[in-house]
């Protein structure tokens, strides 16, 4: 899954693709590099990011979704927690709702998914982007995130979303300390017991530099290293900025027997 941030303030590429034309061109390039999905977002969810109102978010994302859907066949996902934005993006051709609130932040989101038949991704987050890094605490982060995602799966299915239309995301960096992120990444295989595709968004995140203890380290090698570890655990969707580089690493990993037990 290739990331397209149509924002001025995302942590990794804030402003670079804020212009709709630049965002569409970037998405087409990610598709050419081998992205299986394109994820368009118009509101930064980095720690302490300020909320964006629905009209501004619509202004940012709808032209990009329309442009991508008109120019390539790669399925488009809308990264939003607002049902109004999700509806407009689906109308523009998007097929997936990727919601960092687990489809809990807007009471209309679940009914929208049921009504339209859109696929959904429900993510775990402790708090909100404005509060999530204020002393996040867990007794057992792997089991607590597992239990939350199991609850969201069950609630979505009870509401009428088919299980094969649900993906689940442990929410790396969303209300987790470095050690929590590492534990979740090390035990991603646990989530397969929920019977839904697993999506992980670890790309370029701050925990990589903290694990390395190198504040200025290039995050790409770490992103690739984590991607290989996740692929080895069978994670189905890797949400990344650097599609071409990660894809090449995965192809070489597979060619050298990395997916097989010795």
Domain segments of the chain: what residues?
A: 2-255
Q: How far apart are CA 257 and CA 223, in angstroms?
A: 20
- Paired with 27 in beta bridges are none
| Count of CB atoms situated within 10 Å of the CB of 50 | 9
Closest C-alpha among 139, 211, 167 to residue 75: 167
Structure-token match 């009504």, residue found: 115
Give the pLDDT score at 127: 73
| Count of CB atoms situated within 10 Å of the CB of 109 | 26
Reported as type and span, the H/E element at residue 41 is strand 38-41
Which residues lie closer than 8 Å to 48 by C-beta, 6 or more apart? 129, 130, 133
Q: What is the DSSP letter of 241?
A: S
Closest C-alpha among 224, 189, 251 to residue 170: 189
In terms of CATH, what superfamily is 2-255? Dihydropteroate synthase-like (3.20.20.20)
Structure-token match 């999530």, residue found: 132
Q: Per-residue confidence of the chain (262 residues) as pLDDT tens digits?
A: 999 999 886 555 556 778 999 999 999 999 999 999 999 999 988 777 788 999 999 999 999 999 999 999 999 999 999 999 999 999 999 999 999 999 999 999 999 999 999 999 999 998 777 776 877 899 999 999 999 999 999 999 999 999 999 999 999 999 999 999 999 999 999 999 999 999 999 999 999 999 999 999 999 999 999 999 999 999 999 999 999 999 999 999 999 998 877 5
Q: Supply the pTM of this predicted model.
A: 0.94
Three-class secondary structure of residue 139 per DSSP? coil
| Catalytic positions | 205, 239
Structure-token match 């970037």, residue found: 26
Three-class secondary structure of residue 197 per DSSP? coil
């Amino acid at each position: 899954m290739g990331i397209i941030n149509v924002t001025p303030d995302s942590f990794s590429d804030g402003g670079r693709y804020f212009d709709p034309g630049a965002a569409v061109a970037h998405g087409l390039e990610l598709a050419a590099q081998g992205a299986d999905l394109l994820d368009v977002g118009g509101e930064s969810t980095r720690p302490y990011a300020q909320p964006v109102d629905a009209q501004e978010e619509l202004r940012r994302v709808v032209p990009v979704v329309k442009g991508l859907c008109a120019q390539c066949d790669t399925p488009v996902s809308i990264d939003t927690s607002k049902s109004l934005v999700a509806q407009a993006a689906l109308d523009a051709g998007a097929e997936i709702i990727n919601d960092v609130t687990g489809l809990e932040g807007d009471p209309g989101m679940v009914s929208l998914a049921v009504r339209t038949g859109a696929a959904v991704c429900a993510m775990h987050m402790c708090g909100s982007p404005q509060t999530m890094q204020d002393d996040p605490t867990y007794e057992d982060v792997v089991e607590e995130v597992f239990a939350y995602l199991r609850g969201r799966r069950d609630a979505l299915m009870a509401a009428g979303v088919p299980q094969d239309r649900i993906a689940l995301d442990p929410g790396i960096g969303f209300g987790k300390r470095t050690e929590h992120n590492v534990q979740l990444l090390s035990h991603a295989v646990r989530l397969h017991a929920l019977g839904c595709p697993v999506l992980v968004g670890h790309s370029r995140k701050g925990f990589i530099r903290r694990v390395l203890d190198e504040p200025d380290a290039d995050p790409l090698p770490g992103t690739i290293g984590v991607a290989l570890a996740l692929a080895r655990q069978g994670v189905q969707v890797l949400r990344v900025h650097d599609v071409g580089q990660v894809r090449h690493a995965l192809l070489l990993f597979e060619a050298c027997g990395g997916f097989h037990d010795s």
